[in-house]
């Protein structure tokens, strides 16, 4: 399995092809969201919503063999694409890797130029929630 840094580098390479074109980048992000695995309808509960996101973003986790598995969905295509990128980087990792992850790919692919302040705040909220879940698993597993 590739590590977090390698996955981020793959994502940066994919976005480099788009040459910073805003429209192409947004379209690609939305396309990535469509590839998320099906999110269970019964998990679309208020308690699974990420606070601080303008859009609705549901996030659930489970622990399998010491790894944190994330599942998510959103009611908007762009936000769904953003959470899919985070899942690609952070899911199926041990909690310490997630907590310690430096997610530099977000800046490298130019998200700051593409997202408005509301979506940027939402992206920060998504990262924070994912790291909080990992921290909870880390203390539970005593890793």
Q: Looking at the annotation, which residues are catalytic?
A: 53
- Note whether 90 and 4 are within 8 A (CB): yes
CA distance 116 to 58: 21
Q: What CA–CA distance (Å, rounded) separates 69 from 24?
A: 29
Q: How far apart are CA 74 and CA 77, in angstroms?
A: 7
Write the DSSP symbol of residue 92: T
Backbone φ and ψ for 60, nearest 5 degrees, come out as -130, 160
Helix residue ranges per DSSP H, 1-143: 4-16, 22-34, 77-90, 95-100, 105-108, 111-114, 117-141
């Amino acid at each position: 399995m590739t590590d977090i840094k390698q996955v981020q580098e793959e994502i940066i390479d994919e976005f480099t092809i788009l040459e910073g074109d805003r429209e192409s980048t947004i379209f690609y992000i939305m396309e990535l969201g469509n590839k998320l695995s099906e999110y269970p309808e019964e998990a679309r509960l208020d308690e699974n919503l990420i606070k601080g996101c303008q859009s609705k973003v549901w996030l659930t986790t489970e622990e399998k063999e010491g790894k944190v598995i994330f599942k998510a969905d959103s009611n908007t295509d762009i936000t769904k694409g953003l959470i899919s990128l985070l899942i690609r980087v952070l899911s199926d990792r041990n909690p310490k890797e997630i907590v310690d992850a430096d997610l530099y790919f977000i800046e490298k692919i130019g998200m700051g130029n593409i997202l408005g302040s509301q979506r940027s705040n939402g992206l920060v909220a998504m990262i924070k929630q994912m790291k909080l879940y990992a921290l909870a698993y880390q203390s539970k597993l005593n890793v």
